[in-house]
């Protein structure tokens, strides 16, 4: 039975539903986010407008350009955009290497690279980037011969660029190139031959060690570290040195187009700076790698600042650079003295 309250309303016995709380006021962070989104939208719209303006102007310029001018430019091009100058690094001591594996850095791989790159149609010239004190006679001559062969077969110009050092065998290889570019402070020269033999006879006597040799002839153990060199052995080795020296002088005289006697005056083993070498006629120009590239581009008639092509492996370059630093600063001399056999070398030891 419904009851009537004092106000006259009927009480049905069901409690009234609670009224919903008022909405909280907008937070300042929410307002900031909304303003940021609006700013981004405005900037995006402006960027679209700017892009359309630029596109319309470019399209208008293209339409107004005379067609005959464009055709004349295309017709006047004598060389493809693919034409390039190849750069072949020659870093560290030059040796034949212990194998013919592609990741080794012996003279076989350098010679193969010269042949491969010079045979590419898009390669119009080659820069030998040399940073080497030289190396064994056979290895140096292998690279030198590869350069001469590539020049004869392809008629493409070669430019030698000298880095920190390009001495002895490094210069021998460079003499096969058409132009030599060196830094003013590059160490070069050291034209000559050397045959080094260590003598441990005194040390062996102190520790009670003696070497016994059975040989088929008196010269068979020539260069042994366990005894003094005999006069006959020294005479024989000197004849080898003289013959190898004559080959070096001849190569320089032919490559630099100099008189043999003039080369001999310069080829007493001394070293030169790049600037001294230029004054003596051993270097053509002073400059850096870019200057060498520009020279190669002009010789190949493709202009300065040519496209550069290199097939070298970054890991191989890292190993070559490490080998260069170790060899130049003598860090590997002990290992060489202990493990390397005596060899005839076009090499500057420096220290």
Distance of CA 267 to the CA centre of its chain: 28
Res. 9 pLDDT band, cuts 50 70 90: very low
73 classed as catalytic: no
- Residues 46-80, buried b or exposed e (16+ Cβ, 10 A)? eeeeeeeeeeeeeeeeeeeeeeeeeeeeeeeeeee
Whether 248 has a pLDDT exceeding 80, the answer reads yes
Residue 62 within any structural domain of the chain: no
Please write the tens of the pLDDT for every residue from 213-236. 888 888 787 877 778 888 998 899
Could you count the other beta carbons within 10 Å of the beta carbon of residue 349? 15
220 classed as catalytic: yes
Domain that holds residue 287: 84-212+219-347
- Residue 318: its pLDDT value, please? 59
- Residue 345: its pLDDT value, please? 86
Residue 25 within any structural domain of the chain: no
Please write the tens of the pLDDT for every residue from 15-74. 555 555 555 554 455 566 667 677 767 776 676 666 666 566 655 555 544 443 343 343
CA 293 to CA 216: how far, in whole Å? 55
Whether 203 has a pLDDT exceeding 90, the answer reads no
Q: What is the pTM of this model?
A: 0.69
Residue 22 within any structural domain of the chain: no
Please write the tens of the pLDDT for every residue from 108-156. 999 999 999 999 999 999 999 999 999 999 999 999 999 999 999 999 9
- Residue 98: its pLDDT value, please? 61
Whether 162 has a pLDDT exceeding 90, the answer reads yes
What percentage of the chain reaches a pLDDT higher than 90? 49
Output Rg (C-alpha) for the chain, integer angstroms.
38
Residue 71 within any structural domain of the chain: no
Output the average pLDDT for the chain. 79
CATH number at residue 94: 3.90.226.10
- Residue 141: its pLDDT value, please? 97
**Whether the Cβ atoms of residue 144 and residue 102 lie closer than 8 Å to each other:** no
- Of 211, 245, 207, the C-alpha closest to 228 is 211
Tell me the longest C-alpha to C-alpha distance in the chain.
145
- Residue 272: its pLDDT value, please? 97
State the residue for tokens 């002088």: 249
Alpha helices in the chain (DSSP H): 28-64, 67-76, 107-118, 137-154, 169-174, 201-206, 231-256, 260-266, 274-280, 289-299, 314-328, 333-339
**Whether the Cβ atoms of residue 169 and residue 251 lie closer than 8 Å to each other:** no
Residue 294 within any structural domain of the chain: yes
Q: Higher confidence at residue 310 or residue 191?
A: 191
Res. 339 pLDDT band, cuts 50 70 90: very low
CA 337 to CA 113: how far, in whole Å? 30
| DSSP conformational letter for 94 | B
Query: From the candidates 168, 190, 244, 327, which is the catalytic residue?
Result: 168
Please write the tens of the pLDDT for every residue from 309-334. 875 555 555 555 555 555 544 444 43
Whether 192 has a pLDDT exceeding 80, the answer reads yes
Residue 70 within any structural domain of the chain: no
Q: What is the mean pLDDT of residues 332-347?
A: 58
- Residue 333: its pLDDT value, please? 42
What percentage of the chain reaches a pLDDT higher than 70? 66
Whether 295 has a pLDDT exceeding 90, the answer reads yes
Q: What is the mean pLDDT of residues 229-249?
A: 92
Strand pairing class (84-91; 307-309): parallel
Q: What is the mean pLDDT of residues 177-205?
A: 89
Res. 97 pLDDT band, cuts 50 70 90: confident
Distances (CA, A) of 146 to 114, 150, 182, 200: 7, 6, 22, 39
Query: From the candidates 38, 220, 301, 304, which is the catalytic residue?
Result: 220
Distances (CA, A) of 201 to 204, 207, 213, 247, 343: 5, 10, 14, 34, 20
Dihedral (CA of 297, 144, 96, 137) sign: negative
Whether 337 has a pLDDT exceeding 50, the answer reads no
- Residue 6: its pLDDT value, please? 46
Q: Higher confidence at residue 99 or residue 285?
A: 285
- Residue 73: its pLDDT value, please? 41
Residue partners of 142: CB distance under 8 A and separation at least 6: 96, 107, 108, 111
CA 270 to CA 190: how far, in whole Å? 5
Residue 61 within any structural domain of the chain: no
Number of domains observed in the structure of the chain: 1
Residue 30 within any structural domain of the chain: no
């Amino acid at each position: 039975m419904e009851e009537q309250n004092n106000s006259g309303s009927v009480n049905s016995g069901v409690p009234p539903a609670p009224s919903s709380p008022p909405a909280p006021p907008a937070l300042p962070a929410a307002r900031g986010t909304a303003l940021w989104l609006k700013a981004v939208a405005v900037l995006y719209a402006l960027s679209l407008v700017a892009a359309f303006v630029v596109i319309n102007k470019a399209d208008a310029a293209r339409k107004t350009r005379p067609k005959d001018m464009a055709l004349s430019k295309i017709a006047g091009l004598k060389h493809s955009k693919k034409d390039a100058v190849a750069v072949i690094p020659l870093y560290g001591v030059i040796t034949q290497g212990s194998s013919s594996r592609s990741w080794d850095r012996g003279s076989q791989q350098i010679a193969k690279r010269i042949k491969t790159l010079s045979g590419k149609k898009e390669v119009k010239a080659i820069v030998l980037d040399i940073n080497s004190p030289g190396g064994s006679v056979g290895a140096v001559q292998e690279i030198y011969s590869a350069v001469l062969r590539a020049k004869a077969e392809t008629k493409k110009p070669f430019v030698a660029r000298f880095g920190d050092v390009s001495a002895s065998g490094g210069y021998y290889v460079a003499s096969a190139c058409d132009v030599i570019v060196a830094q003013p402070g590059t160490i070069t020269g050291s034209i000559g031959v050397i045959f080094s033999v260590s003598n441990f006879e005194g040390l062996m006597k102190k520790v009670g060690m003696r070497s016994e040799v059975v040989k088929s002839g008196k010269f068979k153990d020539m260069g042994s570290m366990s005894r003094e060199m005999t006069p006959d052995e020294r005479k024989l080795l000197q004849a080898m040195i003289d013959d190898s020296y004559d080959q070096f002088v001849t190569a320089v005289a032919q490559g630099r187009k100099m008189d043999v006697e003039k080369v001999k005056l310069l080829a007493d083993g001394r070293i030169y700076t790049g600037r001294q070498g230029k004054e003596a006629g051993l270097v053509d120009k002073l400059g850096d790698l870019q200057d060498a590239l520009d020279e190669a581009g002009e010789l190949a008639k493709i202009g300065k600042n040519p496209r550069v092509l290199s097939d070298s492996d970054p890991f191989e370059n890292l190993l070559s650079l490490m080998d260069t630093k170790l060899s130049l600063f003598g860090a590997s001399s002990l290992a060489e003295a202990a493990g390397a056999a005596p060899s005839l070398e076009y090499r500057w030891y420096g220290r």
